[in-house]
Structure 1
Amino acid sequence: MKPTEHTTEHDSDPGLRTLKKQRTRQAIANTAISLFLSRGFDEVSVAEIAAAAEVSKPTLFRYFASKEELVLHRFADHLGEAGRVVRDRPAGVTPLDALERHRLDGLAEHDPSTGMTAHPQSIAFLRLVYETPSLSAHLVEYLAADTRALAEALDPDGGLAARLLAAQYVAVRQVLARAVWTRLADGQDVEEVGRIAADETATAFALLRDGAAARGF
């Protein structure tokens, strides 16, 4: 039976309806990603995903606006994260210091968003994103939104220096994450990759600071 078509006497409860929608959304996404990983993004149709998830195509599109979003929604939890790190930083801590600390913490915790994950499924998921042109292209939209949020956190007035620094940081973050993922995907030792990633993070932020300091960041 289709998840969205099953009704009970409890469906009038807003909390249960919300939970049901969340579970349906997650089930559809998990089904899609499983198919993409096994067969390739371009080889799987939306109709096949809907059938495998036991929902109709219109239902699928109510949860996900596009085929690409079935994959990239996993990045949504991190949207605006850099901006939040800057806004919530302790007094006396510069924005770049806060962002560097946040990245180092992510590396230590093996947060997949840093590329630092040795889990085979996570490596395969990032390969799917990085090596599928349409997904890489759509990822740019997420990065643009992240850049705008960080620029606003740096300077609510929208100054050029803040926008430039935000763009540089987001670009650097992606380069660092992909470098980490590439080493892990090549089978390099996790601990060694972690040490290299920490050194590269230090180098990257030193370069960012050279320009940022002159502008008061």
Structure 2
Amino acid sequence: MSAVDGKPGLRERKKQRTHAAISDAAITLFLEHGFNQVTVAQVAEAAEVSKRTLFAYFPAKEDLVVHRLADHETELARVVRARPQGTTPLRAVREHFLRGLHDRDPITGLNDHPQVRRVHRMILDAPTLVARMDRFKAGAERALAQALQETADTPELTARLAAVQIVAVHWALAQDNADRLAYGESADGRSAGALADAEHAFDLLENGLRQLTPQ
């Protein structure tokens, strides 16, 4: 059945439910037993699907975790493309990150929901998940570089170098916050420090790292 009035049809809704059921079963098992200790077959059994069906939705075991961040891979690129006229790409990214801190967006690392903390620790404890996150980071760099080229008329090399730096700063800030929260610090307790660190980091970017050299 096709979509009606912009709403997904019956077949699409069934696929969405299956996707969610597999994901929920996987996260539950991984958090209870550990990512490396749970097999794909166990996830399929818990979700009441075949292994073949599971792999149709999630090509690799790591995708069962990382897919929850999939929309964020191109997030900075979308922010740059959607920025108001007259706003520089870096200013748009900066304001977006600061807004995320205020809203306790998990992608900023400043979210102390118990499951968010546990998922972060799980990723750190699984080398294959850490490697998968590195691929995620590289994808974010490519997407942002393309957005800079297309919307700011930035030369290709400049766009690539800028994207690497911006994504790295975004990543480092979020990682610092998540690490602190994963091991007990509260989001409210970390908030002022996270904000100060973000302002400092983006100041460094905006000034071309000149602040590293004493005046």
| Fold agreement, TM-score > 0.5 | yes
CA distance in 2, matches of 1:101, 1:36: 34
* 2:185 match: 188
Q: Shift in Å at residue 13 of structure 1?
A: 5.1
- The answer to whether the 8 A contact 1:36-1:44 is kept is yes
User: How far, CA to CA, are the matches of 1:173 and 1:199 in structure 2?
Assistant: 14
2:132 aligned to which of 115, 122, 138: 138
Question: For the residues of structure 2 that align with 1:111 and 1:118, how far apart are their CA atoms?
Answer: 10
TM-score norm. by structure 1 comes to 0.88
| 189 and 138 in structure 1: CA distance in 2 versus 1, 3 angstrom threshold | closer
TM-score (structure 2 length as normaliser): 0.89
- Counterpart code for 2:179: T
Aligned to 1:175: 172
- Equivalenced residue count is 202
User: Which of 204, 207, 213 is the equivalent residue of 1:207?
Assistant: 204
Q: Deviations over 1:61-94 (max 9, x none)?
A: 0000000000000011212110111111111211
Q: Which amino acid aligns with 1:115?
A: G
Separation in 1, partners of 2:73, 2:52: 26
> 2:112 touches 2:186 (CA, 8 Å); kept in 1?
no
Distance 1:122 1:189, change over 3 A: closer
1:160 aligns with 157
Query: Which of 82, 98, 101 is equivalent to 1:104?
Result: 98
Aligned counterparts of 1:35 and 1:174: Cα–Cα separation in 2: 27
Amino acid in structure 2 at the alignment position of 1:130? L
CA distance in 1, matches of 2:73, 2:190: 25
The answer to whether 1:53 aligns with 2:50 is no
Residues 59-74 of structure 1 aligned to structure 2 (within 5 Å): 59-74=53-68
User: Which of 92, 109, 113 is the aligned partner of 2:107?
Assistant: 113
- Could you tell me how far 1:188 is from its partner in structure 2? 2.1
Tell whether the 8 Å contact from 2:120 to 2:182 is kept in structure 1 after alignment: no
Distance 1:17 1:81 in 2: 28
Is the contact made by 1:68 and 1:138 (CA closer than 8 Å) also made in structure 2?
Answer: yes
Measured in 2, the distance between the counterparts of 1:184 and 1:117 equals 7
Q: Is the 8 A contact 2:145 2:162 kept in 1?
A: yes
**Gap regions ≥5 residues in structure 2:** 4-8, 211-215
SS at match of 1:38: helix
Matched AA of 1:186: Y
- What code does the residue aligned with 2:163 have? A
RMSD of Structure 2 on Structure 1 (CA): 1.6
Per-residue displacement from partner, 1:16-53 (whole Å, max 9, x unpaired)? 10011011001101101110111111100011111111
* 1:131 counterpart letter in structure 2: D
Quote the Cα distance in structure 2 between the aligned partners of 1:155 and 1:212. 22
Quickly say closer, same or farther: Cα 1:202–1:187, change in 2 above 3 A.
same
Give secondary structure in 1 for the equivalent of 2:78.
helix
Q: Secondary structure at the match of 2:207?
A: helix
2:213 aligned residue: none
d(CA) in 2 for partners of 1:118, 1:43: 25
> What letter matches 2:15 in structure 1?
K
Which aligned runs of 4 or more in structure 1 are off by greater than 6 angstroms?
A: none
1:122–1:132: structure 2 CA closer, same or farther, 3 Å change rule?
A: same
Structure 1: which 5+ runs fail to align? 1-11
